[in-house]
Structure 1
Amino acid sequence: MSKIANHTILDLRFQVVEVSQRYIRVMDILKSASPETSGFYPVRLNPLLLWFTQTIAIPGSRWRYWLDLQIDSDDLRRLQDLKGKRRLLLPNHPTFQDPIVVFLLSARLHQTFYYLAAYESFKGLLGWFLQRVGAYSIRRGIADRPSIAYTLELLAQPDCCLVIFPEGGCSFQNDTVMPFRSGGVQMAFQALSRFARRGEALPDFYVVPISIKYRYTQDMTSTIQTSLSQLEAQLHLPGTGGPYERLRAIAKQVLVNLEQEYGFQTSQIEHQSWNDRIIALKSHVLQECQQRLSMQASPGEPIREQVYRIQYALQTREELLEERTDQEAQESMWTLEAVQKAMFRLLNFDAINDGYIAENPTQERFLDTLIRLEREVFNIDQPSPKGHRQARVKIGNPINLKDFFEDYQQNRSLTINQLVVTIQQTVQNNLDQLSN
């Protein structure tokens, strides 16, 4: 056997041993905080499976998702320099493939990342797999105490690298971000507070803004034309005009259909802008669902958080409405299935706005919108990939929370909010740079 082959085998063995040792250290500490209950799924890291999955991730994602990771060496080095430090990675979340992109990043770095993932993802074989490559669950829409406690224990570990998507879900928009949630930064400060209460020196704790932007590597004109034609056929539209005019006709028909389905008609509707109509329809649907569930929104609560609370309420109640006869349930449009469908729609169109394509008519923005319309019109969760894409990743300057801890002690809410705004702006600015 050649010296090169021997060196490669030794290097692979070293990686597996290193991951195994990290696994033993972390799992020993988290053991008391990781009860396997019906409401929480902790990490069950399998070092060999993780190493194998990282090894095949690059060719596997190219074959399965038509996806390749692209990151500059300087950005990669920025993360490499933080190895062994506590890190909280905060990427934007434009597509369902973003966790795969971050996993590809971990494979390039030969590092173990931990992932906070939606509870609904941990069903069946997929859930078993996710736990063994570093993911654990959180129930959205409630204060998930087991998950929060587990996160705080995890963040206390010196070489922890935790990934949280601060938008709280997919935006389905490649160039823009939704408002970031503050929970990740808040928990990181809480982890630092534990050191302060014990009188120990504060460790470095880095928050890293990460921007993910997808770019198709080929001309997508024919794919766009095919998608337009399929949507027009389903909606019985003539399909006249240029691609943008056809897309607007499809979007208008979908909006009208939804307004009619939910009985949302006003005398002023034809004189309102599309954005006003979209906002009013969302508000109407939310209020109807909340009324049926005897729920109320908190002042200023984002639509996505309201949706998650409704979804959690649906999961924990056997009946949608109390004290209703079967006949009343059949006559009402707000059946359990109808509310679930409404929540799907609200998440699908959460970040949508008229003018998204017009302000920058790229094929990526065109397909962002088409994919959302396909999800609605054809009632599918995840449409197949449209073409091969590069996932371009840019790493923002890491922020050491230790430098802001004194400010945090003086005014927690203000410090957290200012940092979250800074992180969100960094992610958006870097997305803009990736567009050039």
Structure 2
Amino acid sequence: MAPTENSPLLSNNNNNGDQSLPMHRPTSYPSRFSPHAPPGSPNLVSSMWWLFTSSWLNILLAFVPLGFIAEFLHWPAIWRFSLNFLAIVPLAKLLGDATEQSSLKLGQTLGGLLNATFGNAVELIVGVVALLQGQLRIVQTSLIGSILSNILLVLGMSFVAGGLFKSENTFQQTAAQASGSVMTLGVVTIAIPAAYQGSIRMNTLFSQGFDALKSLDDSDSTLDGLLFISRGASMILLVIYVLYLVFQLKTHAFLYEAEEDQDEEEEVAMMTPVAAIIGLLVVTVITSFNADYLVSAIDETANEYHIPKAFIGTILLPIVGNAAEHVTSVWMASKAKMEIAIGVSVGSSIQIAVGLIPALVLIGWAVGQPLTLYFQSFETVVLVASVLLVNTLIQDGRSNYIEGAMLCSLYLVAALSFWVEPDM
């Protein structure tokens, strides 16, 4: 079975026993999540029919045209925001399904490429749209929020769900530690520009006093330094991400090899490769429009209803992009498949921290938007603390419900804090 966007980080279930599964979102299981394959080979029509009817979540596709109508008829901002917010939930699910089906037939290498490209497609689309609109804070908060949502809320709920049915669940320890180290590298690199900015502010404070701090924040030299660090670090992180994919898919694939399980049902291709790619392209284009309308309504909605933009970016938007994965992760954890649950959270977070954030910094460079790796100090502290907690909990290769409760509690504390964080 080829790796897909939904392939687990740490696998112990596989039909052939000799295939490696990359660390991203979990592989689908047709017996639980989709109808049985139609008789004969799928064609374009049957493939597209399956894509749009395979999940009850697709009922929410009714909000897609409503989001377009709200934008074109200039409905109030809260309606434009809410309708496009709900529209992106099923679109995220469709992207995941189409990516998964593409990888089944196209092989491991191309499957890994599709995984890297579409694994966090909603986050990428929202980020690019906000970047082009100059909404740099929305870009940063939505990416930070996606990481926190995955490693705290998704993983925490998965640990709780697994602990309700089994006193203790186990997973492959070596691969978990390796992935945790890559995640740590990503967040530490993000913290370095904040340390640089803090260092300059302290030196200015001691040498010139409080009055100099305001002019320092507006100075071109400070921004130039942050851009230099951020763009250079982004290129380095992207190289690490490529090396990590090679490490995972090729040179050290044995770390992620699955143990043979004769009871596991073989996955059936429900779409042709051509239909899956067409589905990816169509859904991506539609999602880009809904994301554009959503982002354009954020400012007005936040001001009118007194909702902090930091809360919208870090809490609400990530919940939209990760809704389908949340359900899948908790379901798999309840079936004692903790490897898959960890693959959802840690794998997606690595892709964002080491792949997506650096890529958006470089895209901003190309389009003239000064996006940097300098996040607000509060956000950086929350992110680093979250990764440290996750690494502490997964290093023993075991999980239980109290560990999940700790992760969820930290996420709730972060959500409360972002509600009162002043907009910058």
- TM-score, length-normalised on structure 1? 0.25
Structure number with greater CO (CA < 8 Å, separation at least 6) is: 2
Larger helix fraction of residues: 2
Q: Which has the greater radius of gyration?
A: 1
Larger strand fraction of residues: 1
